[in-house]
Structure 1
Amino acid sequence: MAQGTVKRAGKRTQAVNEKRQAILTAALEIFSRVGFHGARLEQVADSAGVSKTNLLYYYPSKEALYIAVLRQILDIWLAPLKAFRADFTPLVAIKEYIRLKLEVSRDYPQASKLFCQEMLQGAPLLKAELTGDLKTLVEEKSAIIAGWIASGKLAAVDPHHLIFMIWASTQHYADFAIQVEAVTGATLQDEAFFQRTVDNVQRMIIEGIRVR
Protein backbone atom coordinates (compact mmCIF):
# COMPACT_ATOMS: atom_id res chain seq x y z
CA MET A 1 0.00 0.00 0.00
CA ALA A 2 2.72 2.42 1.04
CA GLN A 3 4.76 1.48 -2.02
CA GLY A 4 1.79 2.13 -4.28
CA THR A 5 1.27 5.53 -2.67
CA VAL A 6 4.91 6.42 -3.26
CA LYS A 7 4.66 5.37 -6.91
CA ARG A 8 1.53 7.47 -7.44
CA ALA A 9 3.18 10.45 -5.78
CA GLY A 10 6.22 9.97 -7.99
CA LYS A 11 4.07 9.89 -11.11
CA ARG A 12 2.23 13.05 -10.03
CA THR A 13 5.54 14.81 -9.42
CA GLN A 14 6.80 13.74 -12.84
CA ALA A 15 3.57 14.93 -14.47
CA VAL A 16 3.83 18.31 -12.73
CA ASN A 17 7.46 18.71 -13.79
CA GLU A 18 6.63 17.77 -17.38
CA LYS A 19 3.77 20.26 -17.46
CA ARG A 20 5.98 23.02 -16.02
CA GLN A 21 8.64 22.31 -18.64
CA ALA A 22 6.07 22.28 -21.45
CA ILE A 23 4.90 25.72 -20.32
CA LEU A 24 8.46 27.07 -20.07
CA THR A 25 9.36 25.68 -23.51
CA ALA A 26 6.29 27.24 -25.10
CA ALA A 27 6.90 30.52 -23.30
CA LEU A 28 10.53 30.66 -24.47
CA GLU A 29 9.48 30.22 -28.10
CA ILE A 30 6.81 32.92 -27.89
CA PHE A 31 8.77 35.43 -25.77
CA SER A 32 11.82 35.09 -28.03
CA ARG A 33 9.65 35.68 -31.11
CA VAL A 34 7.37 38.53 -30.03
CA GLY A 35 8.93 39.81 -26.81
CA PHE A 36 7.45 40.19 -23.33
CA HIS A 37 4.90 42.83 -24.27
CA GLY A 38 3.77 41.07 -27.46
CA ALA A 39 3.22 37.69 -25.80
CA ARG A 40 -0.17 36.62 -24.44
CA LEU A 41 -0.68 33.94 -21.82
CA GLU A 42 -3.41 32.41 -24.00
CA GLN A 43 -0.80 31.83 -26.72
CA VAL A 44 1.55 30.15 -24.28
CA ALA A 45 -1.20 27.97 -22.83
CA ASP A 46 -2.36 26.84 -26.28
CA SER A 47 1.19 26.04 -27.36
CA ALA A 48 1.88 24.10 -24.15
CA GLY A 49 -1.38 22.16 -24.42
CA VAL A 50 -2.79 23.42 -21.12
CA SER A 51 -5.61 25.75 -20.12
CA LYS A 52 -4.85 29.34 -19.16
CA THR A 53 -6.21 28.56 -15.68
CA ASN A 54 -3.78 25.65 -15.37
CA LEU A 55 -0.89 27.83 -16.55
CA LEU A 56 -1.76 30.47 -13.93
CA TYR A 57 -1.73 27.77 -11.25
CA TYR A 58 1.99 27.28 -11.91
CA TYR A 59 2.90 30.84 -12.91
CA PRO A 60 0.46 33.43 -11.47
CA SER A 61 1.29 36.20 -13.96
CA LYS A 62 2.99 36.83 -17.28
CA GLU A 63 5.86 38.51 -15.42
CA ALA A 64 6.32 35.48 -13.16
CA LEU A 65 6.42 33.21 -16.21
CA TYR A 66 8.88 35.49 -18.01
CA ILE A 67 11.20 35.58 -15.01
CA ALA A 68 11.02 31.78 -14.71
CA VAL A 69 12.03 31.48 -18.38
CA LEU A 70 14.93 33.92 -17.90
CA ARG A 71 16.16 32.05 -14.84
CA GLN A 72 16.14 28.79 -16.77
CA ILE A 73 18.14 30.51 -19.52
CA LEU A 74 20.69 31.70 -16.97
CA ASP A 75 21.04 28.16 -15.66
CA ILE A 76 21.72 26.95 -19.21
CA TRP A 77 24.20 29.71 -19.99
CA LEU A 78 26.09 29.46 -16.72
CA ALA A 79 26.41 25.67 -16.56
CA PRO A 80 29.70 25.69 -18.55
CA LEU A 81 31.15 28.43 -16.32
CA LYS A 82 30.15 26.53 -13.18
CA ALA A 83 32.14 23.55 -14.48
CA PHE A 84 35.30 25.70 -14.71
CA ARG A 85 37.70 24.46 -11.96
CA ALA A 86 41.08 25.50 -10.56
CA ASP A 87 42.50 21.98 -10.81
CA PHE A 88 42.23 22.00 -14.62
CA THR A 89 45.19 22.87 -16.86
CA PRO A 90 44.44 26.56 -17.71
CA LEU A 91 44.55 26.42 -21.51
CA VAL A 92 42.67 23.13 -21.61
CA ALA A 93 40.01 24.50 -19.26
CA ILE A 94 39.50 27.64 -21.32
CA LYS A 95 39.38 25.73 -24.60
CA GLU A 96 36.75 23.43 -23.14
CA TYR A 97 34.77 26.40 -21.83
CA ILE A 98 34.74 27.93 -25.32
CA ARG A 99 33.55 24.66 -26.84
CA LEU A 100 30.77 24.28 -24.28
CA LYS A 101 29.62 27.87 -24.81
CA LEU A 102 29.44 27.32 -28.55
CA GLU A 103 27.43 24.13 -27.96
CA VAL A 104 24.97 26.19 -25.92
CA SER A 105 24.73 28.73 -28.76
CA ARG A 106 24.07 25.89 -31.18
CA ASP A 107 21.54 24.04 -29.04
CA TYR A 108 19.66 26.95 -27.42
CA PRO A 109 19.50 29.82 -29.94
CA GLN A 110 16.06 30.99 -28.78
CA ALA A 111 17.28 31.24 -25.21
CA SER A 112 20.24 33.34 -26.32
CA LYS A 113 18.02 35.63 -28.36
CA LEU A 114 15.63 36.24 -25.46
CA PHE A 115 18.47 36.82 -23.01
CA CYS A 116 20.03 39.31 -25.43
CA GLN A 117 16.71 41.15 -25.75
CA GLU A 118 16.45 41.41 -21.96
CA MET A 119 19.98 42.82 -21.72
CA LEU A 120 19.30 45.40 -24.47
CA GLN A 121 16.26 46.57 -22.52
CA GLY A 122 18.35 47.14 -19.41
CA ALA A 123 17.48 43.81 -17.74
CA PRO A 124 14.47 45.27 -15.87
CA LEU A 125 13.27 41.86 -14.71
CA LEU A 126 16.64 40.17 -14.25
CA LYS A 127 18.72 42.81 -12.48
CA ALA A 128 18.68 41.02 -9.13
CA GLU A 129 19.91 37.79 -10.71
CA LEU A 130 22.73 39.57 -12.54
CA THR A 131 23.98 41.44 -9.49
CA GLY A 132 23.51 38.41 -7.24
CA ASP A 133 24.29 34.86 -8.33
CA LEU A 134 25.85 35.81 -11.69
CA LYS A 135 28.20 38.37 -10.17
CA THR A 136 29.23 35.93 -7.43
CA LEU A 137 29.96 33.18 -9.95
CA VAL A 138 31.98 35.46 -12.22
CA GLU A 139 34.01 36.73 -9.26
CA GLU A 140 34.72 33.14 -8.20
CA LYS A 141 35.90 32.10 -11.68
CA SER A 142 37.83 35.34 -12.19
CA ALA A 143 39.76 34.51 -9.02
CA ILE A 144 40.71 31.15 -10.54
CA ILE A 145 42.00 32.86 -13.69
CA ALA A 146 43.87 35.45 -11.59
CA GLY A 147 45.54 32.59 -9.73
CA TRP A 148 46.70 31.04 -13.00
CA ILE A 149 48.09 34.41 -14.10
CA ALA A 150 49.87 34.95 -10.77
CA SER A 151 51.52 31.54 -11.06
CA GLY A 152 52.76 32.33 -14.58
CA LYS A 153 50.47 29.86 -16.35
CA LEU A 154 48.61 32.53 -18.37
CA ALA A 155 49.54 35.89 -19.86
CA ALA A 156 48.64 38.93 -17.76
CA VAL A 157 45.11 39.75 -18.91
CA ASP A 158 42.14 41.03 -16.95
CA PRO A 159 40.05 37.96 -15.95
CA HIS A 160 36.75 39.82 -16.34
CA HIS A 161 37.58 40.93 -19.85
CA LEU A 162 38.67 37.42 -20.81
CA ILE A 163 35.29 36.07 -19.68
CA PHE A 164 33.46 38.91 -21.48
CA MET A 165 35.40 38.16 -24.68
CA ILE A 166 34.48 34.49 -24.52
CA TRP A 167 30.83 35.39 -24.00
CA ALA A 168 30.86 37.84 -26.89
CA SER A 169 32.66 35.57 -29.36
CA THR A 170 30.54 32.50 -28.60
CA GLN A 171 27.07 33.99 -28.09
CA HIS A 172 27.47 35.98 -31.31
CA TYR A 173 26.76 32.79 -33.27
CA ALA A 174 23.32 32.52 -31.63
CA ASP A 175 22.36 36.19 -31.31
CA PHE A 176 23.43 37.03 -34.88
CA ALA A 177 22.78 33.64 -36.46
CA ILE A 178 20.97 35.19 -39.43
CA GLN A 179 23.94 37.43 -40.18
CA VAL A 180 26.40 34.55 -39.79
CA GLU A 181 24.36 32.42 -42.18
CA ALA A 182 24.00 35.27 -44.69
CA VAL A 183 27.76 35.77 -44.80
CA THR A 184 28.97 32.17 -44.60
CA GLY A 185 26.01 30.18 -45.89
CA ALA A 186 26.19 27.96 -42.81
CA THR A 187 24.96 27.72 -39.24
CA LEU A 188 26.21 25.95 -36.13
CA GLN A 189 23.83 23.11 -37.00
CA ASP A 190 26.29 22.24 -39.78
CA GLU A 191 28.76 19.95 -37.99
CA ALA A 192 31.73 20.91 -40.16
CA PHE A 193 31.05 24.64 -39.70
CA PHE A 194 30.53 24.14 -35.97
CA GLN A 195 33.92 22.44 -35.63
CA ARG A 196 35.66 25.15 -37.67
CA THR A 197 34.05 27.75 -35.44
CA VAL A 198 35.24 25.97 -32.28
CA ASP A 199 38.77 25.60 -33.66
CA ASN A 200 39.06 29.23 -34.76
CA VAL A 201 37.55 30.86 -31.67
CA GLN A 202 39.69 28.65 -29.43
CA ARG A 203 42.84 29.46 -31.40
CA MET A 204 42.31 33.23 -31.40
CA ILE A 205 41.59 33.42 -27.68
CA ILE A 206 44.18 30.88 -26.58
CA GLU A 207 46.94 32.58 -28.56
CA GLY A 208 46.06 35.84 -26.84
CA ILE A 209 46.48 34.42 -23.35
CA ARG A 210 49.30 31.93 -23.90
CA VAL A 211 52.48 32.75 -21.98
CA ARG A 212 55.19 33.92 -24.37
Structure 2
Amino acid sequence: MTAKLQPPKTRIQRKNTQAILDAALEVFSGQGFRGATLDEIAAEAGLSKPNLLYYFPSKEAIHVTLLTGLMTTWLDPLRELDPEGEPVEELMTYLRRKLELSRDFPRESRLFANEILQGAPRMIGALDGELRDLVEEKCAVIREWIKAGKIADLDPHHLLFSIWALTQHYADFDVQVRAVLGPGRDPLQEASSFLDELFLKILKPE
Protein backbone atom coordinates (compact mmCIF):
# COMPACT_ATOMS: atom_id res chain seq x y z
CA MET A 1 0.00 0.00 0.00
CA THR A 2 1.43 3.38 -0.98
CA ALA A 3 1.51 6.15 1.58
CA LYS A 4 -1.15 8.81 1.19
CA LEU A 5 0.36 12.09 0.07
CA GLN A 6 -0.26 15.02 2.37
CA PRO A 7 -1.83 18.05 0.67
CA PRO A 8 0.49 21.06 0.48
CA LYS A 9 0.14 23.60 3.26
CA THR A 10 -1.89 26.69 2.57
CA ARG A 11 -0.35 30.13 2.80
CA ILE A 12 -1.89 30.72 6.24
CA GLN A 13 -0.67 27.33 7.45
CA ARG A 14 2.88 28.14 6.33
CA LYS A 15 2.64 31.56 7.96
CA ASN A 16 1.41 30.18 11.27
CA THR A 17 3.95 27.36 11.31
CA GLN A 18 6.77 29.84 10.79
CA ALA A 19 5.32 32.18 13.42
CA ILE A 20 5.28 29.33 15.94
CA LEU A 21 8.87 28.33 15.15
CA ASP A 22 10.08 31.94 15.37
CA ALA A 23 8.29 32.40 18.69
CA ALA A 24 9.59 29.11 20.04
CA LEU A 25 13.14 30.02 19.09
CA GLU A 26 12.84 33.24 21.06
CA VAL A 27 11.38 31.49 24.12
CA PHE A 28 13.60 28.40 24.05
CA SER A 29 16.83 30.34 23.48
CA GLY A 30 16.06 32.52 26.48
CA GLN A 31 14.62 29.99 28.90
CA GLY A 32 15.74 26.59 27.69
CA PHE A 33 13.43 23.67 26.99
CA ARG A 34 12.41 23.10 30.60
CA GLY A 35 11.69 26.72 31.35
CA ALA A 36 9.58 27.32 28.25
CA THR A 37 5.84 26.70 28.16
CA LEU A 38 3.38 26.26 25.30
CA ASP A 39 1.38 29.21 26.66
CA GLU A 40 4.42 31.47 26.34
CA ILE A 41 5.18 30.23 22.82
CA ALA A 42 1.57 30.72 21.73
CA ALA A 43 1.48 34.23 23.17
CA GLU A 44 4.77 35.12 21.48
CA ALA A 45 3.39 33.80 18.17
CA GLY A 46 0.13 35.71 18.55
CA LEU A 47 -1.92 32.50 18.49
CA SER A 48 -4.14 30.67 20.94
CA LYS A 49 -2.75 27.55 22.57
CA PRO A 50 -5.37 25.29 20.83
CA ASN A 51 -4.38 26.85 17.51
CA LEU A 52 -0.71 26.16 18.22
CA LEU A 53 -1.52 22.53 19.07
CA TYR A 54 -3.20 22.16 15.69
CA TYR A 55 0.25 22.63 14.10
CA PHE A 56 2.45 20.92 16.70
CA PRO A 57 1.20 18.26 19.14
CA SER A 58 3.66 19.14 21.91
CA LYS A 59 6.41 21.43 23.11
CA GLU A 60 8.91 18.69 22.32
CA ALA A 61 7.68 18.47 18.70
CA ILE A 62 8.39 22.18 18.23
CA HIS A 63 11.80 21.86 19.86
CA VAL A 64 12.80 18.88 17.71
CA THR A 65 11.72 20.71 14.53
CA LEU A 66 13.89 23.68 15.47
CA LEU A 67 16.89 21.50 16.33
CA THR A 68 16.58 19.49 13.12
CA GLY A 69 16.67 22.65 11.02
CA LEU A 70 19.53 23.99 13.12
CA MET A 71 21.63 20.87 12.56
CA THR A 72 21.35 21.36 8.81
CA THR A 73 22.41 25.01 9.08
CA TRP A 74 25.27 24.18 11.48
CA LEU A 75 26.65 21.30 9.43
CA ASP A 76 26.49 22.83 5.95
CA PRO A 77 29.83 24.71 6.26
CA LEU A 78 31.59 21.51 7.36
CA ARG A 79 30.03 19.54 4.52
CA GLU A 80 31.50 22.08 2.09
CA LEU A 81 35.09 21.47 3.24
CA ASP A 82 36.59 20.45 -0.10
CA PRO A 83 39.25 17.68 -0.09
CA GLU A 84 40.54 19.04 -3.42
CA GLY A 85 40.81 22.62 -2.20
CA GLU A 86 43.81 24.43 -0.76
CA PRO A 87 43.90 23.09 2.84
CA VAL A 88 44.64 26.27 4.80
CA GLU A 89 42.11 28.28 2.80
CA GLU A 90 39.46 25.55 3.19
CA LEU A 91 39.88 25.53 6.97
CA MET A 92 39.98 29.32 7.20
CA THR A 93 36.80 29.54 5.12
CA TYR A 94 35.15 27.07 7.48
CA LEU A 95 36.27 29.12 10.49
CA ARG A 96 34.91 32.33 8.98
CA ARG A 97 31.58 30.75 8.10
CA LYS A 98 31.22 29.44 11.65
CA LEU A 99 31.83 32.94 12.99
CA GLU A 100 29.25 34.31 10.55
CA LEU A 101 26.74 31.79 11.90
CA SER A 102 27.38 33.10 15.41
CA ARG A 103 26.72 36.61 14.12
CA ASP A 104 23.62 35.75 12.09
CA PHE A 105 22.03 33.05 14.28
CA PRO A 106 22.82 33.82 17.94
CA ARG A 107 19.49 32.53 19.25
CA GLU A 108 19.91 29.28 17.37
CA SER A 109 23.38 28.87 18.84
CA ARG A 110 22.04 29.36 22.36
CA LEU A 111 19.22 26.91 21.67
CA PHE A 112 21.80 24.31 20.65
CA ALA A 113 23.98 25.07 23.68
CA ASN A 114 21.03 24.70 26.04
CA GLU A 115 20.19 21.32 24.54
CA ILE A 116 23.78 20.10 24.96
CA LEU A 117 23.95 21.34 28.56
CA GLN A 118 20.84 19.29 29.34
CA GLY A 119 22.50 16.13 28.01
CA ALA A 120 21.10 16.41 24.45
CA PRO A 121 18.02 14.24 25.17
CA ARG A 122 16.38 15.25 21.88
CA MET A 123 19.56 15.33 19.79
CA ILE A 124 21.78 12.49 20.92
CA GLY A 125 20.83 10.38 17.90
CA ALA A 126 21.96 13.13 15.54
CA LEU A 127 25.14 13.81 17.51
CA ASP A 128 26.43 10.24 17.55
CA GLY A 129 25.01 9.57 14.09
CA GLU A 130 24.93 12.29 11.44
CA LEU A 131 27.36 14.64 13.21
CA ARG A 132 29.86 11.95 14.14
CA ASP A 133 29.85 10.47 10.64
CA LEU A 134 30.46 13.86 9.04
CA VAL A 135 33.23 14.74 11.48
CA GLU A 136 34.96 11.40 10.85
CA GLU A 137 34.77 12.00 7.11
CA LYS A 138 36.32 15.46 7.38
CA CYS A 139 38.93 14.34 9.92
CA ALA A 140 40.10 11.80 7.36
CA VAL A 141 40.51 14.65 4.86
CA ILE A 142 42.48 16.71 7.39
CA ARG A 143 44.75 13.73 8.12
CA GLU A 144 45.56 13.46 4.41
CA TRP A 145 46.46 17.15 4.33
CA ILE A 146 48.73 16.64 7.34
CA LYS A 147 50.31 13.56 5.75
CA ALA A 148 51.04 15.59 2.61
CA GLY A 149 52.69 18.31 4.70
CA LYS A 150 50.12 20.93 3.68
CA ILE A 151 49.10 21.91 7.23
CA ALA A 152 50.62 21.50 10.69
CA ASP A 153 50.40 18.14 12.46
CA LEU A 154 47.34 18.73 14.64
CA ASP A 155 44.71 16.38 16.05
CA PRO A 156 41.81 16.80 13.56
CA HIS A 157 39.05 16.30 16.13
CA HIS A 158 40.42 18.88 18.52
CA LEU A 159 41.14 21.28 15.68
CA LEU A 160 37.42 21.19 14.81
CA PHE A 161 36.42 21.41 18.49
CA SER A 162 38.59 24.51 18.89
CA ILE A 163 36.96 26.15 15.87
CA TRP A 164 33.52 25.41 17.30
CA ALA A 165 34.46 26.73 20.73
CA LEU A 166 36.16 29.91 19.54
CA THR A 167 33.37 30.89 17.15
CA GLN A 168 30.20 29.87 19.01
CA HIS A 169 31.49 31.57 22.17
CA TYR A 170 30.62 34.93 20.62
CA ALA A 171 26.97 33.93 20.34
CA ASP A 172 26.54 31.89 23.52
CA PHE A 173 28.44 34.36 25.76
CA ASP A 174 27.59 37.57 23.91
CA VAL A 175 26.54 39.43 27.07
CA GLN A 176 29.80 38.53 28.82
CA VAL A 177 31.95 39.45 25.82
CA ARG A 178 30.29 42.85 25.41
CA ALA A 179 30.44 43.58 29.13
CA VAL A 180 34.18 42.86 29.25
CA LEU A 181 35.04 44.77 26.05
CA GLY A 182 32.90 47.75 26.95
CA PRO A 183 30.92 50.06 24.66
CA GLY A 184 32.05 51.18 21.25
CA ARG A 185 33.70 47.92 20.21
CA ASP A 186 32.54 45.30 17.71
CA PRO A 187 33.26 41.85 19.19
CA LEU A 188 32.73 39.87 16.01
CA GLN A 189 34.78 42.18 13.81
CA GLU A 190 37.62 42.03 16.31
CA ALA A 191 37.21 38.27 16.64
CA SER A 192 37.42 37.81 12.89
CA SER A 193 40.80 39.55 12.70
CA PHE A 194 42.14 37.79 15.79
CA LEU A 195 41.01 34.30 14.77
CA ASP A 196 42.40 34.76 11.26
CA GLU A 197 45.79 35.62 12.70
CA LEU A 198 45.67 32.84 15.30
CA PHE A 199 44.66 30.00 12.99
CA LEU A 200 46.94 31.03 10.14
CA LYS A 201 49.81 30.61 12.58
CA ILE A 202 48.46 27.35 14.00
CA LEU A 203 47.82 25.75 10.61
CA LYS A 204 51.13 26.73 9.01
CA PRO A 205 53.21 23.58 8.47
CA GLU A 206 56.63 23.45 10.06
Name which of structure 1's ranges 147-156 and 42-51 shifts more when overlaid on structure 2.
Answer: 42-51
* Paired letter, 1:145: I
CA–CA separation in structure 2 for the residues paired with 1:61 and 1:67: 10
Q: How many residues align?
A: 200
Determine the structure 2 residue equivalent to 1:163: 160
Determine the structure 2 residue equivalent to 1:182: 179
Which of the numbers 192, 199, 203 marks the counterpart of 1:205?
A: 199
CA–CA separation in structure 2 for the residues paired with 1:173 and 1:15: 36
CA offset digits 1:26-66 (Å, max 9, x no partner): 10100111221221112212222333233223221111111
* Mapped pair 1:138 → 2:132: no
Name which of structure 1's ranges 51-60 and 80-89 shifts more when overlaid on structure 2.
Answer: 51-60
Q: How does 1:1-212 map to 2 (within 5 A)?
A: 12-185=9-182, 190=186, 193-212=187-206
Instruction: Report if aligned partners of 2:32, 2:115 keep a CA contact under 8 Å in 1.
Output: no
Q: 1:90: Cα distance to partner?
A: 0.8
Tell me the secondary structure at the aligned position of residue 111 of structure 2. helix
Instruction: Report if aligned partners of 2:109, 2:168 keep a CA contact under 8 Å in 1.
Output: yes
- Runs of 4+ aligned residues of structure 1 deviating over 6 Å after TM superposition are none
Unaligned 5+ runs, structure 1 = 1-8
Unaligned 5+ runs, structure 2 = 1-6
Larger proportion of helix: 1
CA–CA separation in structure 1 for the residues paired with 2:142 and 2:11: 40
Q: 1:13: Cα distance to partner?
A: 4.7
Q: 1:187: Cα distance to partner?
A: 8.9
In structure 2, the CA distance between the partners of 1:186 and 1:130, relative to structure 1 (3 Å rule), is farther
Instruction: Report if aligned partners of 2:102, 2:170 keep a CA contact under 8 Å in 1.
Output: yes
Instruction: Report if aligned partners of 1:80, 1:101 keep a CA contact under 8 Å in 2.
Output: yes
Tell me the secondary structure at the aligned position of residue 66 of structure 2. helix
* Paired letter, 1:86: P
In structure 2, the CA distance between the partners of 1:140 and 1:186, relative to structure 1 (3 Å rule), is farther
Q: TM-score under structure 2 normalisation?
A: 0.88
Cα RMSD for the two superposed structures: 2.0
CA–CA separation in structure 2 for the residues paired with 1:14 and 1:202: 44
Q: 1:91: Cα distance to partner?
A: 0.8
Instruction: Report if aligned partners of 1:187, 1:194 keep a CA contact under 8 Å in 2.
Output: no
* Paired letter, 1:198: S
Tell me the secondary structure at the aligned position of residue 14 of structure 2. helix
CA–CA separation in structure 1 for the residues paired with 2:97 and 2:21: 23
CA offset digits 1:106-162 (Å, max 9, x no partner): 111111112111111111111111111111111111111111111111111111111
CA–CA separation in structure 2 for the residues paired with 1:54 and 1:142: 46
Tell me the secondary structure at the aligned position of residue 28 of structure 2. helix
Tell me the secondary structure at the aligned position of residue 196 of structure 1. helix
